[in-house]
């Protein structure tokens, strides 16, 4: 019996093509779960790592992957966070920061195993995941579904409130993900050869997703959407840029006059700016706290310009400098609300340059396929705009980024699976795997 198991294990391990096939299948499922379940997504990655280890040839794969400068940039960024622990007093907070950055290392695995035939599957899976999220959001908004769905101690989702229907993700992440989905779907409509009915359905999804951005509470989503549309208009549409500007103006006008959430957020921002620029600057508002982080973060940077305060000490250093009258900033802010600022305060100019190097390497990456370069650039821009008001402190932005980079930095002709693919069989495998992982997730909650 023991020998039989050993032989079976050896057979599985030697079948590298099937191992790679299943890694690609699970990557599709991973992309689908990105906006829906962070727990299932994490479990999927664990299984991908196991299959990656079973496939073997790790040294060879790592050497080939290391040739990619974008991959190296993520590794350098991770290690500067790790090294920054050496001059940190709060190791616990530092390790939490390192943990949030570690997701960049996933690119090593995703980039090395993804097959070119899976590019469209992965991107489509993410869009379908957003579609499920959007349907749930509208269900909450229209009163068809509860804002919190729980059954026998199994929590399926929980939105912040009825007036902020972002079910599976923090509303900051949800708004940014919707903005990216709108751009990716528009890109699919432009490049796809689908029949007019399919393109019409995708167009409806664009409109509904755009509306959904402005009925949730995440102001970061508004900003990201506006900046992505402006970038699209100026650098890609060019002759048709005026159409994008008109579309954006109409969207903002309609949103302000019909969405109480958007109107309230705009008015809150306006009032915060007035209080911020008053004679006695008020750092107690949501916007004010963020500006206070910039102001007092700059004071910390002046004291530690080269290597920063340390991976785990940035927030405490800001609290130590901020006057006691700014109680909300001193007592209730757990992070800097800006990944660029956070890196600068933690790790100084060295850390910031290594972070900016990731973007530099991406933008100069030689991807000749215009369709894939579009995905690479706009997913990067969505993340860049998103982290202007938040950080990699939750398990979404960084995993989303590396998934999109993994499928957009390769060639459509890349083959990591050595046989022809059976479309129907692959579809059934992915669906079956999805049911299995979801079932065990629910079963685990019952235990």
Closest CA relative to residue 307, chosen from 266, 243, 351, 276? 351
Does position 280 have pLDDT exceeding 70, yes or no? no
What pLDDT score was predicted for residue 401?
96
5 falls in which pLDDT band (50, 70, 90)? very low
Average pLDDT over residues 10-24: 79
Average pLDDT over residues 268-296: 74
Contact partners, residue 379, CB within 8 Å, separation at least 6: 180, 184, 400, 401, 404, 405, 408
Does position 207 have pLDDT exceeding 80, yes or no? yes
- For the chain, domain boundaries: 2-446
What tokens were used for 294?
């910039």
380 neighbors 15 (Cβ within 8 angstroms): no
List, for residues 220-248, the tens digit of each pLDDT value.
Answer: 888 999 999 998 888 887 777 888 888 88
What tokens were used for 431?
């669906």
Q: What is the pTM of this model?
A: 0.91
What pLDDT score was predicted for residue 45?
93
Does position 3 have pLDDT exceeding 60, yes or no? no
376 neighbors 367 (Cβ within 8 angstroms): yes
**What percent of the chain shows pLDDT beyond 90?**
45
Name the range with the highest mean pLDDT among 157-171, 310-324, 421-435.
421-435
Closest CA relative to residue 75, chosen from 346, 390, 354? 354
Average pLDDT over residues 274-279: 70
What pLDDT score was predicted for residue 329?
65
- Sequence-ordered alpha helix ranges (H) in 304-422: 314-321, 327-331, 339-363, 370-386, 397-408
What pLDDT score was predicted for residue 8?
47
List, for residues 76-125, the tens digit of each pLDDT value.
Answer: 999 999 999 999 999 999 999 999 999 999 999 999 999 999 999 999 99
Does position 303 have pLDDT exceeding 60, yes or no? yes
Does position 414 have pLDDT exceeding 90, yes or no? yes
Does position 413 have pLDDT exceeding 90, yes or no? yes
Does position 72 have pLDDT exceeding 60, yes or no? yes
115 neighbors 415 (Cβ within 8 angstroms): yes
Contact partners, residue 137, CB within 8 Å, separation at least 6: 159, 165, 166, 167, 174, 212, 215, 216
Closest CA relative to residue 261, chosen from 379, 150, 140? 140
Average pLDDT over residues 310-338: 78
List, for residues 324-333, the tens digit of each pLDDT value.
Answer: 777 666 666 6
What is the helix (H) or strand (E) element at residue 273, kind and residue range?
helix 260-276
What pLDDT score was predicted for residue 66?
93
178 neighbors 209 (Cβ within 8 angstroms): yes
What does the alpha-carbon distance between residue 37 and residue 145 come to, in Å, rounded to a whole number?
A: 18
Mean pLDDT of all residues belonging to the chain:
86
């Amino acid at each position: 019996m023991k020998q039989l198991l050993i032989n079976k294990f050896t057979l599985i391990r030697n079948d590298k093509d099937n191992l790679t096939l299943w890694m690609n299948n699970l990557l599709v499922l991973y992309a689908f779960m990105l906006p829906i379940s962070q727990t299932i997504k994490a479990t999927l990655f664990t299984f991908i790592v196991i299959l990656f280890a079973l496939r073997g040839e790790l040294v060879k794969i790592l050497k080939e992957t290391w040739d990619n400068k974008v991959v190296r940039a993520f590794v350098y960024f991770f290690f500067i966070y790790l090294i920054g622990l050496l001059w940190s007093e709060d190791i616990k907070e530092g390790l939490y920061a390192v943990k949030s950055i570690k997701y960049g290392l996933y690119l090593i695995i995703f980039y090395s195993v993804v097959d070119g035939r899976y590019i469209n599957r992965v991107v489509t899976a993410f869009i379908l995941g957003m579609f499920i999220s959007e349907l749930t959001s509208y269900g909450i908004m229209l009163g068809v579904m509860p804002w919190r769905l729980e059954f026998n101690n199994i929590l399926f989702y929980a939105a912040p409130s009825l007036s902020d229907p972002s079910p599976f993700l923090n509303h900051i992440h949800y708004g940014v993900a919707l903005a990216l989905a709108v751009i990716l779907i528009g890109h699919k409509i432009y490049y796809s050869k689908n029949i007019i009915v399919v393109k019409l359905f995708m167009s409806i999804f664009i409109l509904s997703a755009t509306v959904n951005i402005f009925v949730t509470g995440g102001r970061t989503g508004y900003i990201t959407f506006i900046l992505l549309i402006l970038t699209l208009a100026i650098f890609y549409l060019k002759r048709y840029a005026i159409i994008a500007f008109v579309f954006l103006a109409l969207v903002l006008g309609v949103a302000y006059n019909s969405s109480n959430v958007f109107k309230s957020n705009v008015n809150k921002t306006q009032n915060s700016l007035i209080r911020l620029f008053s004679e006695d600057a008020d750092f107690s508002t949501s916007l004010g706290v963020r500006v206070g982080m910039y102001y007092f973060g700059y004071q910390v940077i002046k004291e530690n310009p080269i290597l920063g305060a340390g991976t785990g000490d940035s927030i405490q250093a800001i609290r130590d400098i901020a006057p006691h009258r700014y109680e909300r900033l001193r007592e209730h802010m757990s992070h800097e609300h800006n990944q660029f600022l956070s890196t600068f305060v933690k790790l100084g100019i060295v850390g910031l340059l290594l972070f900016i190097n990731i973007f530099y390497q991406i933008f100069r990456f030689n991807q000749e396929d215009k369709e894939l370069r579009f995905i690479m650039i706009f997913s990067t821009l969505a993340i860049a705009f998103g982290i202007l008001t938040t950080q990699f402190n939750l398990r979404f932005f960084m995993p989303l980024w590396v998934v999109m980079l993994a499928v957009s930095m390769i060639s459509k002709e890349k083959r990591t699976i050595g046989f022809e693919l059976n479309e129907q069989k692959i579809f059934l495998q992915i669906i079956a795997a999805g049911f299995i992982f979801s079932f065990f997730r629910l079963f685990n909650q019952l235990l």
